[in-house]
Structure 1
Amino acid sequence: MKRELVLASGSPRREALLRGLGLQFDVLRPQVDEVYDAQWPPGKIVRELARMKARWGAARRPRALVIGADTLVVVDRRILGKPSSPDEAVHMLMELQGRAHTVYSGVAVIDAVTGREETGFRATEVRMRPFSQDRAKAYVKTGEPMDKAGAYAIQGVGALLIDSISGDFWTVVGLPLGLLDGLLQTFDVGLFPDF
């Protein structure tokens, strides 16, 4: 029997990734307070925030297998979330330019029927090219950075700011597909198409 699949996420990128794999699922945009203990390491933060979103979805879709995800950017042990203004986006980009930072993406899958939960996270190092404040301002004017952790999208125009990555590209996009597939397989569901 096919399981009802739900993505508990407000991210159009995560939705597009899963749709690109040919999956059929519903999307719920979770209304959760993304509060966490500041002492937690980044991997735990993204796992717990992903779990909160998945639990929110599971409470609303009691027969579904629910996916939640969260992403953080960390530089100098400081977390950069989504910018609250264009000025903050420019400031974030100037902090990241010409150096490396780490992107953490967490995933949670919850079986709403049984309450079983599986979580995990991946971390990827990203090195940005050096660029001027004018270039950062021009990028921010595209609007692309405003709903993204760290104020850039590696899969969009922001790719022009990237020098290199070490790790999983999809972690930087916000949904490590290999990790998600592994978690879903523990529920006898996978992302790989049936042949």
Structure 2
Amino acid sequence: MRRTLILGSTSPYRRELLGRLKLDFDVMAPQVDETPRPGEAPAALARRLALAKAHAVAAQRPHAVVIGSDQVADLAGEPLGKPGTHERATEQLRRMRGHSVVFQTAVAVVCRETGFEQVDLAPVRVDFRSLGDDEIETYLRAEQPYDCAGSARSEGLGIALLDAIHSDDPSALVGLPLIRTCRMLRAAGLQVP
């Protein structure tokens, strides 16, 4: 039986990334509370939310193979989510300047009917330059990355904020680690080129 593939995400970045694999897939919005639990480490939060998103969609489409993903910026153990506003983005970038931040990107693949479930983490260490307040303001006005964990969109102008990116799965920083995703989709029984 050929199974439907569903991306359990409203992120246009994840949709674009998954589209690179030339697979047919549907998109469904998972209904998941993304509030961190008290004392929850950023990596654990990303893994929990990726799995929760996959399960939320799989509960509605048990025959499908469902991908869930989440990303949390980790500044010295403190989770930084999507800023949502210009003021919070400014604060995040001021705190991250001159530091290394680990973007914890988790992906989960679930098929309720077969009982398949895998989750993996693709950490990406990003070294931020020592940014001036004027650079931060110019970047935020131009890019408006208020829907991105850590306020930095590396696939756009945000790359100019960085000194280095360290990763074994380059698409993880954008929001979906495709190397791990391909591995998990194959394990779930899908053919990936």
CA distance in structure 2 between the partners assigned to 1:7 and 1:95 by the alignment? 32
Partner of 1:64: 64
- The count of residues paired between Structure 1 and Structure 2 equals 192
Q: CA deviation at 1:182?
A: 1.5
Q: CA deviation at 1:13?
A: 0.5
Asked if the contact 2:17–2:171 (Cα under 8 Å) also holds between the matched residues in 1, the reply is no
Q: CA deviation at 1:190?
A: 4.5
Residues 152-193 of structure 1, C-alpha deviations (whole Å, 9 max, x = no match): 1111111111110111322211111111112112112253x1
Q: Which amino acid aligns with 2:128?
A: M
CA distance in structure 2 between the partners assigned to 1:171 and 1:190 by the alignment? 21
CA distance in structure 2 between the partners assigned to 1:147 and 1:37 by the alignment? 21
CA distance in structure 1 between the partners assigned to 2:66 and 2:184 by the alignment? 11
**Is 2:23 the partner of 1:23?**
yes
CA distance in structure 1 between the partners assigned to 2:181 and 2:23 by the alignment? 13
Asked if the contact 1:75–1:101 (Cα under 8 Å) also holds between the matched residues in 2, the reply is yes
CA distance in structure 1 between the partners assigned to 2:114 and 2:35 by the alignment? 26
CA distance in structure 1 between the partners assigned to 2:148 and 2:51 by the alignment? 19
Please list every run of 5 or more consecutive structure 1 residues that lacks an aligned counterpart in the other structure: none
SS of equivalent to 1:137: helix
SS of equivalent to 1:147: coil
**Is 2:177 the partner of 1:172?**
no
Q: Which amino acid aligns with 1:182?
A: R
TM-score by length of 1: 0.92
**Is 2:99 the partner of 1:125?**
no
Q: Which amino acid aligns with 1:90?
A: T
Partner of 2:106: 106
Asked if the contact 2:41–2:79 (Cα under 8 Å) also holds between the matched residues in 1, the reply is no
CA distance in structure 1 between the partners assigned to 2:178 and 2:191 by the alignment? 10
Residues 91-126 of structure 1, C-alpha deviations (whole Å, 9 max, x = no match): 111111222111101111110322331111111110
Residues 2-24 of structure 1, C-alpha deviations (whole Å, 9 max, x = no match): 32000001110110011122111
Partner of 1:38: 38
CA distance in structure 2 between the partners assigned to 1:21 and 1:156 by the alignment? 21
CA distance in structure 2 between the partners assigned to 1:103 and 1:149 by the alignment? 8
Q: Which amino acid aligns with 1:175?
A: L
Identity between Structure 1 and Structure 2 (%):
36
**RMSD of Structure 2 on Structure 1 (CA):** 1.5
Q: CA deviation at 1:145?
A: 1.2
CA distance in structure 2 between the partners assigned to 1:188 and 1:98 by the alignment? 44
CA distance in structure 1 between the partners assigned to 2:191 and 2:42 by the alignment? 27
Q: CA deviation at 1:38?
A: 3.1
Change (3 A) 1:190 1:47: farther
CA distance in structure 1 between the partners assigned to 2:16 and 2:89 by the alignment? 24
Change (3 A) 1:190 1:98: farther
Partner of 1:84: 84
